[in-house]
């Protein structure tokens, strides 16, 4: 890349992890952790652009900008899996697109 910059992309795709359905007494309903009860597919693209600046022969400063979940795909972290819950079967808890800037001192 120009100006000695570096680009570090991370692409991640996986099928959803299985979860167990419980009733109000917290007992398993059906077969726990089966393929019928899985979280949604996980899809994420993270990118980090960075540049190093030599301060001395021993120290280097690294400036970077990162984008997390660049595709802004809904990646559920959990599900309402209790049959007594009014929101039973609803996926929730995902991270939206985020940006981050970092400064690191390397020695």
Q: Which residues of 20-59 are buried (b: 16+ CB within 10 A; e: fewer)?
A: ebbeeeeeeeeeeeeeebebeebebbbebebeeeeeeeee
Question: Of 15-19, 21-25, 27-31, 63-67, which one has max mean pLDDT?
Answer: 63-67
Asked whether the predicted pLDDT for residue 34 surpasses 90, the reply is no
Residue 35 pLDDT greater than 90, yes or no: no
Among 60, 20, 50, smallest CA distance to 37 is for 20
| Residue 66 tokens, joined | 């990162």
Residue 76 has pLDDT above 90, yes or no: yes
Residue 103's closest CA among 78, 77, 70, 66?
Answer: 66
- pLDDT, the chain, mean: 94
Query: Please, which residues bridge with residue 76 across strands?
Result: none
Confidence (pLDDT) at 16:
87
Residues 6+ apart with CB under 8 A from 6: 49, 50, 51
From residue 50, give the alpha-carbon distance in Å to each of 10, 16, 21: 14, 31, 44
């Amino acid at each position: 890349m120009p100006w000695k910059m570096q680009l570090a992309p991370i692409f991640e795709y996986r099928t959803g992890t299985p979860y167990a359905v419980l009733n109000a007494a917290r007992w398993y309903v059906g077969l726990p952790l089966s393929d019928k009860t899985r979280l949604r597919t996980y899809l994420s693209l993270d990118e980090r652009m960075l540049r190093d600046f030599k301060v001395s022969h021993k120290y280097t400063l690294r400036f970077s900008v990162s984008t997390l979940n660049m595709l802004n795909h809904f990646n559920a972290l959990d599900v309402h899996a209790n049959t007594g819950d009014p929101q039973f079967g609803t996926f929730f808890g995902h991270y939206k697109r985020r940006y981050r800037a970092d400064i690191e001192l390397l020695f």
